[in-house]
Amino acid sequence: MNTMWDYRRCVQVFSQELALLKKISSVQDSVRHAVLAREWTDFDWKMAEINQLGMELGVLEQERAGLFAALTGELMGNSGQAAPFYTIVSRLPEEERRALSDLFRTIKMETIKMRAVNESFLNYLNEAKTMAAAYLEALFPARGGKLYTRKGGQAAQELKSMVFNRHI
């Protein structure tokens, strides 16, 4: 990818990445609330939307990488050696350095926030899964665990439907 350095385009890419991150975060939040409320009607659509936004973010990230490769080449020579973001922008004029650093920092913070929220949600889902498995094991011990054949292979467990009465 042979991209020339363009400060304005870089600011646009960073701004678009930030907007996409916020949009992804919003959709992930709606997915999280839907799961907690057990509302499954739009779940597939929301997951498809997250995947589409992720692909758009990937395209922008590739463009950003190309822009910074061009900037690195201009400022540090074509040694082919990658340099950290702040090392690269430290050689730009003050106004450009400040604008790009602020955008980069905001993107980084948004990413950290999303990661923390997603990790806590995954922990919740794993705990719920473990608890449901333990509950089913207690109710139906014959279905729990693993069964093996005489030859040591894992035996297929018979799949049976279960009905839970939610009205006690």
pLDDT attached to residue 130: 81
CB within 8 A of 125, min separation 6: which ones?
Answer: 35
Question: pLDDT value at position 81?
Answer: 67
Listed residue (51, 83, 70) closest to 13, CA to CA: 70
Angle at 35 between CA 127 and CA 20, to 5 degrees: 110
pTM over 0.85? The answer is no
User: Quick one: pLDDT at residue 108?
Assistant: 94
What do you get for the CA distance between the two ends of the chain, in Å? 65
Q: What is the pLDDT along the chain (168 residues), one digit of tens a residue?
A: 445 678 899 999 999 999 999 999 999 999 888 888 888 888 888 889 999 999 999 999 999 988 888 888 887 776 656 778 888 888 889 999 999 999 999 999 999 999 999 899 888 888 888 887 787 777 767 666 555 567 777 666 554 555 555 555
pLDDT at 1: 44
How confident is the model at residue 12, as a pLDDT?
96
Residue 6: its pLDDT value, please?
Answer: 87
What is the per-residue pLDDT for 135?
77
Contact 89, 14 (CB under 8 A): no
Joined together, the tokens standing for residue 99 give 């604008």
User: Residue 152 — φ and ψ, nearest 5°?
Assistant: 95, -5
